[in-house]
Structure 1
Amino acid sequence: MAARQFLPNTPTLTNAGLPQGQLAACFVIPIGDDLRSILEGVRDMALIHQTGGGTGFNFSHLRPRGDQVRSTGRVASGPVGFMRIFDTTTAVVKQGGRRRGANMGILRADHPDILEFITAKRDPAMLANFNLSVAVTDDFMQRVAADDAYPLVNPRTGLEVKRLMAREVFDLICEMALTTGDPGLVFADAMERANPTPEIGALEATNPCGEQPLLAYEACNLGSINLAALVNRGELDWTALDRLVALGVRFLDDVIDQSHYPLPQITAIVAANRKIGLGVMGLADLFIRLGIAYDSPEALQLAETIMARIQDRAVAQSQALAEQRGPFPNFARSRWQRQGQPPRRNATVTTVAPTGTISLIAGVSSGIEPLFAVAYRRRALEGEEFQEIHPLFLEKLRQAGLKEAEWLPRVLASGRVRPLTALPEELRRLFPTTFEVSVARQVEMQAAFQRHVENAVSKTINLAPDATREDVAAAFRLAFKLGLKGITVYRYGSKAGQVLSLPAGPEALTLAHEFAEECRLCSV
């Protein structure tokens, strides 16, 4: 950690050593179809946010707006109505906490209130403390392709109440994602197929950024290896990577026992499954150091090789820990046992998080994202601005024998180097920014990691300002085809006050930030 080769999620950094320190980042709280369960969920969320965790909810169990409430003779408010209570509570709690609260709200595509949910963020102030995702099944996506209708089902009665055209609903999701950034998609069947303990329960929801599917009341702590720190003489140090994986798994397993969870239900299920999520950060910087373009086939191949290696070594270390400390208690009821695998200490071992905060501490690119820009101005909280140039670009510029005074003003004009045809081709090739990497290649990069990750992968598919609804639809279809567990898109400029902004005109890029978190609602 001192060498910034590995860092745990932010709650571990901020709460370790405190009395009753809560060290996990990701929590999921179940919400049942009654007022007591809903209000208990609000209370549980507030307690978790107070300790620095992020929460995920699946509101699909709630009866739809206007449905009968037999006990009172009145009608139900529906999922979106109750989500406002969670949103307001989050806003109040975060005012006095160290970190702002963060939520994921999920609704199944077959819920009768799905259209209200999809369009909830047309009002920018609505559900501002939520990321939204629609849970879609394989059947739904197949009906989209076939342009078929599908049923909406009242969760209270289990009866069909209406039919909608799947493609029309899908198009509405794409339109709202294009204009507001929400909702994303959760591929529910792909996620559940990877559930390591289906006998214990179905996966309920994910954490706020979608990389950690969890059972009801489950929590998980995450950590990330800094890939950019593992380059030695122009090559990736595989031995160092193996060592960090082993240490990271052991560290995260220890964190489980050192954390004080805010609810007894959380303590119980965490102890029974012992999920951890080891991932990576600094991928874009790694590629630059190795002389590989982020959007090249070579980058995809290396990304998959790296994550396959991490997955293999992480499982091996978890199995070694099981020999020393015992397997996770639910192992006998897990799919690992049914597959004949050796006992392991942790139900899951790998997750790729956005690392919005810890990548800044490490001084590297976030998660598996491409560079947002090569040059920008960083605006501090006090309003003072600082000009920043990506240090690897300066290093490569000097290696090419080029003068900073000549080239930096040109780079600062747009934040990009690929349009500067007078620069050496090799230099231009190594520094693609996020809008220069095709949408398809971004999805393919996420898929390269997902194939070797037991939990899920958080990556924002960035779209240029002139992107269309069909661009979003193509990304969503490709994500489903490639087996992703979820996908989020963001069209540049679609949210006011976005973390990363590119002003019009010749000014340099502006990086306006609140604690400089690239993931707007992330606890890692």
Structure 2
Amino acid sequence: MPIIKEPKGSINFITKNSRTVLERRYLKKDKSGKVCESPEQMFRRVASHIALAEKKYDKKADIKKMEDRFYSLMTEFRFLPNSPTLMNAGRSLGQLAACFVLPVEDSINGIFEAVKNAATIHKSGGGTGFSFSRLRPKNSRVGSTGGVASGPVSFMKIFNTATEQIKQGGTRRGANMAVLRVDHPDIMGFIKCKNNKRELNNFNISVGMTDRFMEAVSKESEYDLLDPRTKKPSGKLNALAVYEELISQAWATGDPGIIFLDEINRYNTTPGIGEIESTNPCGEQPLLPMEACNLGSINLTKFVISEKGRQVIDYKKLKETIHLSVRFLDNTIDMSRYPIKEIEQMVKGNRKIGLGIMGFADMLFRMSIPYDSDEAIDIAELIMSFLQKESHAASCSLAEERGVFPNFEQSVFKTKKQAHMRNATTTTIAPTGTLSIIAGCSSGIEPAFALSFVRTVMDNDKLLEVNPVFEKVARTMGFYNEILMEEIAEKGTARGNSQIPIDIRKVYVTAHDIKPEDHIRMQAAFQRHTDNAVSKTVNLPHDAKKEDVKFIYDEAFRLKCKGVTIYRDGSKENQVLSISGKGDKENGNEFLHAGKERPKILEGFTEKIKTGMGYLYVTVSEFNNKPFELFATIGKSGKSTQAKTEAIGRLISLALRSGVEVVEIIDQIKGIRGEHAVFQEGGLVYSIPDAISKVLEKRYLSTGNGEKVKPFKNQLKSNLCPECGQAIAFEEGCMTCHSCGYTKCS
């Protein structure tokens, strides 16, 4: 990245990771792609633009003073707004909201209008949620044409294809959420729609659960499927069978998640406007159709102070930050350029904002509180109830100054003693993947993804990175050394390490150290004091059972969460490791990546097979009884054939070392026909690549008597960021690279 001369008073405490993320994703670039803005200039650009809203309400307002306050708020990393605001404020695009929900009407015009609107939103940097529950089910009659409907899932594929073609601000593809009510006649097809991992890869999917369905599950009874047009029963399913299929799919693939529609609508603050039927892509923002929301997060690590030898929360400073952040987000509504007129009307009618937190795990570290403890639950409730109370107070204060939101008369606040609110909602716990990297803290309310990890930099140099809070404690207590930190990076946890004091091990836990019930208890604690919803992932180990998933779903419903996402380690094709990769030796995947150095000694086998071009010698080297590389030579043939044979071997070796399954390689090369087919023991050999496939198939896909067996799959793949090659974490419903800021939320 180019070196930018910083202006006077530059932010000298931006970490290397933070600067990398800013330069890759946020700072302005010229036509040649060169960064032409410093971090300070970016924050000044945003502060200046958002402060301009003050003039709308007070022509004598001191814009410069408010700009400076907003600038300090962000550059001290006490608060950061959602990514579109940092990217687009004060620039030509001008779209500042992150979350949108669009209606999908049951007509060709309505469906493709939604596709067009989604494309417009993705181009501006937003993510979109849809309910496909209004669409008539597959094979139902279409009156206007006499044909039959293809159903919601088929139309989801059209939305997915459109998303594939549009990049957000020229940097990344948009993310989508698809919701289908559990009482829709096509629900079983929807639950299974991501079985083919090559389809719908720009969608998160969630089943919209109802109280009536959950009651039927508890009674193991049937429930009604409803025709979307008439709302009348059109069939029945056994509720427990549907629930078990949903659980099975989530266990196997991570999809679908669930949202509780009735619980969401119990807290719909504007029921007079309509019913909430979907959320944004990560599930934390339930929204009405054609509604958007502006989000931001407060960094809790900035409010931990020492008092009488104890680490405590500075609530006075936190209160001041909450009030200023609410003002910032309310201003953002006025300063955003919305991509669709109907969305602008809805947003300005309800003026929803979503203020949340980040750095919660780091805050617990500093206060020596284990994440999986009752004390952590208590402090979560204490902090979030304070944020809720003060954000509502800040909104009331703004209402006195600027007036209530226009749809106030159709809201629940009309009949409450709390007479005035500027914003229909004020709090949301949103994903903070890249924001937390910029701020140098842990993500949202998630536990730490790692205490230590190894980053590979240029020329394959290894750079050890350690959580700064953990490193400080380790150095202070005298147990810090790089060998120990590398060991923690390899194992992914400090638990069980006798070199670390037991009380430290108890406090410094990571995502996979925490039991599922403690994950869901923490989510519920925050949800109890959040207007909107909570983005959090319940991480499960690879050997978790389907019963564990059922327990989480049951608990989420019982504890009145608005939805839940689970992730079983290794269940997604591109699953992400939270450790260095060295610790993956036990799973046999240490060398399954291109670029990994070859072990000095590998065992294997050589097989001779007759082809039409002569005898082929295939040598396969193995690591942990799995193919690692392949060499092929052809006897007494021309140089051209020898060269092609060698090339085939090299490419197969590259594929194997990159983690491609041997069954996939066999599928690609089996049956390729050449000039001279030949019979030999075992059947017809069409060509050199076909001969190689027969050797591999015999070795890896057959038993001793020739019976086909199910091909092996790696239990745990080392998962690397597609942009920088570093390990990624799965949290907050997204894949997030803590090195470069890459995120994929679907």
Give the TM-score normalised by the residue count of structure 1: 0.96
CA spacing shift, 1:328–1:384, aligned 2, 3 Å = farther
Letter in 1 for 2:364: F
Considering only CA atoms, is the larger Rg found in Structure 1 or Structure 2?
2
Determine if the alignment matches structure 1 residue 261 to structure 2 residue 334.
Answer: no
The question of whether the paired residues in 1 share the 8 Å contact of 2:277 and 2:288 is answered with: yes
SS of alignment partner, residue 366 of structure 1: coil
Q: Which amino acid aligns with 1:354?
A: P
CA shift for structure 1 position 332: 1.6
The equivalent residue for 1:75 is 148
Q: 1:10 aligns with which of 83, 86, 102?
A: 83
Q: Secondary structure at the match of 1:235?
A: strand
125 and 511 in structure 1: CA distance in 2 versus 1, 3 angstrom threshold: closer
Q: What pairs with 1:229-248 in structure 2 (closer than 5 Å)?
A: 229-233=302-306, 234-248=311-325
Tell me the residue number matched to 1:276: 353
One-letter code aligned to 2:553: F
Deviation of the 1:20 alpha carbon: 3.9
SS at 1:466 equivalent = coil
1:394, distance to aligned residue in structure 2 (A): 1.1
For 2:721, the equivalent position in structure 1 comes to 513
SS at match of 1:497: coil
1:139 and 2:212 correspond: yes
- CA shift at 1:386, angstroms? 3.9
AA at the equivalent of 1:262: P
Contact conserved, 1:228 with 1:285, CA < 8 A, in 2?
A: yes
In 2, Cα distance between equivalents of 1:124 and 1:391: 38
**Alignment check: 8 A CA contact 2:136 2:152 kept:** yes
Counterparts of 2:87 and 2:80 in 1: how far apart (Å)?
Answer: 12
Moved more, 257-266 or 234-243: 234-243
DSSP 3-state at the match of 1:416: coil
In 2, Cα distance between the equivalents of 1:208 and 1:522?
A: 10
Measure the CA separation in 1 of the matches of 2:456 and 2:262: 42
For residues 410 and 83 of structure 1, the distance between their equivalents in structure 2, rounded to whole angstroms, comes to 45
Amino acid paired to 1:153: L
Q: Structure 1 86/280 Cα, relative in aligned 2: closer, same or farther at 3 Å? A: same
Is the aligned partner of 1:483 residue 2:560? yes
Q: How does 1:348-387 map to 2 (within 5 A)?
A: 348-378=425-455, 386-387=463-464
The verdict on how the C-alpha distance between 1:220 and 1:398 changes in structure 2, with shifts beyond 3 A counting, is: same
Q: Within the alignment, does 1:193 sit opposite 2:266 as a pair?
A: yes
Q: 1:331 to 1:500 in 2, by over 3 A?
A: farther
For the aligned residue pairs, the C-alpha RMSD in angstroms reads: 2.1
Give the C-alpha shift of residue 377 in structure 1.
Answer: 2.8
Q: 1:115–1:270: structure 2 CA closer, same or farther, 3 Å change rule?
A: same
Report if aligned partners of 2:574, 2:719 keep a CA contact under 8 Å in 1.
Answer: no
- The aligned residue for residue 255 of structure 2 is 182
Match of 1:205 in 2: 278
Pick the aligned partner of 1:89 from 150, 155, 162. Answer: 162
Contact 1:380 1:513 in 2 (8 A): no
Aligned to 2:199: 126
1:390 positional shift: 1.6
Query: Within 2, Cα distance between the matches of 1:482 and 1:133?
Result: 19
Q: Larger deviation: 412-421 or 266-275?
A: 412-421
Separation in 2 of the partners of 1:91 and 1:384? 35
Report how far residue 387 of structure 1 moved: 3.0
Q: TM-score, normalised by structure 2?
A: 0.68
Once the two structures are superposed, the pairs formed by residues 291-306 of structure 1 within 5 Å of their partners are 291-306=368-383
- Per the alignment, in what secondary structure is the counterpart of residue 60 of structure 1? coil
Distance 1:257 1:497 in 2: 40
**Which residue pairs with 1:467 in the alignment?**
544
Superimposed CA distance per residue, residues 404-444 of structure 1 (whole angstroms, 9 cap, x where no aligned partner): 14522321320210111332012101111111111011000
- The answer to whether the Cα contact below 8 Å between 2:77 and 2:439 also exists between their aligned partners in 1 is yes
2:243 is the alignment partner of 1:35: no
Relative to structure 1, the CA distance from residue 429 to residue 307 in structure 2 (aligned partners, 3 Å threshold; closer, same or farther) is: same
Query: How far is the alpha carbon of 1:498 from its aligned partner?
Result: 2.8
Amino acid at match of 1:505: K
Q: Residue 158 of structure 1: CA displacement?
A: 2.8
Question: Could you tell me which residue of structure 1 aligns to residue 186 of structure 2?
Answer: 113
Query: For 1:75 and 1:26, how far apart are their aligned partners in 2?
Result: 34
Residues 382/111 of structure 1: CA separation in 2 closer, same or farther (3 Å cut): farther
Q: How does 1:58-73 map to 2 (within 5 A)?
A: 58-73=131-146
Contact 1:27–1:207 (CA under 8 A) maintained in structure 2:
yes
1:42 match: secondary structure: helix
1:44 and 1:413, CA in 2 relative to 1: closer, same or farther beyond 3 A? same
What is the alpha-carbon distance in structure 2 between the residues aligned to residue 109 and residue 240 of structure 1? 45
Among 506, 511, 524, which residue is 1:447 paired with?
Answer: 524
1:196/1:347 contact within 8 Å kept: yes
Who is 2:505 aligned against?
Answer: 428
For the Cα contact (< 8 Å) 1:196–1:335, is it kept in 2?
Answer: yes
Q: 1:474 to 1:382 in 2, by over 3 A?
A: farther
Higher mean alpha-carbon deviation, 419-428 vs 480-489, is at 419-428
> Secondary structure of the equivalent of 1:454?
coil
Identity across matched positions, percent: 48
Task: Report Cα offsets for 1:421-471 as digits up to 9, x if no partner.
Answer: 332012101111111111011000000000000000010111110011110
CA distance in 2, matches of 1:478, 1:401: 42
Flag the 1:429–1:501 CA change in 2: closer, same or farther, 3 A: closer
Structure 2 unaligned regions, length at least 5: 1-73, 592-716, 736-742
Q: Deviations over 1:281-331 (max 9, x none)?
A: 111100001111110110000000000000000000000000000110111
Alignment correspondent of 1:164: 237
Amino acid at match of 2:573: A
Q: Which has the higher contact order (CA 8 A, sep 6+)?
A: 1
Alignment gaps of 5+ in structure 1: none
AA matched with 2:262: D
SS of residue matched to 2:162 = helix
Contact 1:30 1:217 in 2 (8 A): yes
| CA displacement at 1:382 relative to structure 2 | 10
Structure 1's 65 and 511: CA in aligned 2 closer, same or farther, altered over 3 A?
closer
Confirm or deny: 8 A CA contact 1:379 1:510 kept in the other structure.
Answer: no
- Provide Cα deviations, 1:204-260, integer angstroms capped at 9, x if missing partner: 310000000111100001000001121112221111111111011000000000000
Amino acid at match of 1:127: L
Report the Cα distance in structure 1 between the residues aligned to 2:106 and 2:480, rounded to whole angstroms: 65
Contact 2:453 2:490 in 1 (8 A): no
Equivalent position of 1:458 in the other structure: 535
Shift, 1:339, TM fit: 1.9
Paired residues, number: 524
1:149 corresponds to which residue? 222
Q: CA 1:171/1:384 → structure 2, altered by over 3 Å: closer, same or farther?
A: farther
Partner residue of 1:394?
471
> Does the 8 Å contact 1:435/1:462 carry over to 2?
yes
Alignment partners' CA distance in 2, 1:438 and 1:309: 27
Q: Does 1:312 align with 2:392?
A: no
Determine the C-alpha separation between the residues in 2 that align with 1:300 and 1:331.
34
Segment of structure 1 superposing worse, 373-382 or 479-488: 373-382
* Matched residue SS, 1:24: coil
Provide the residue aligned with 2:92 in structure 1.
Answer: 19
Q: 2:292 aligns with which of 211, 219, 238?
A: 219
1:497 — aligned with what? Answer: 574
Deviation string for 1:365-408 (max 9, x for gaps)? 11111112212234679987643222222111111112414522
Q: Is the 8 A contact 1:282 1:364 kept in 2?
A: yes
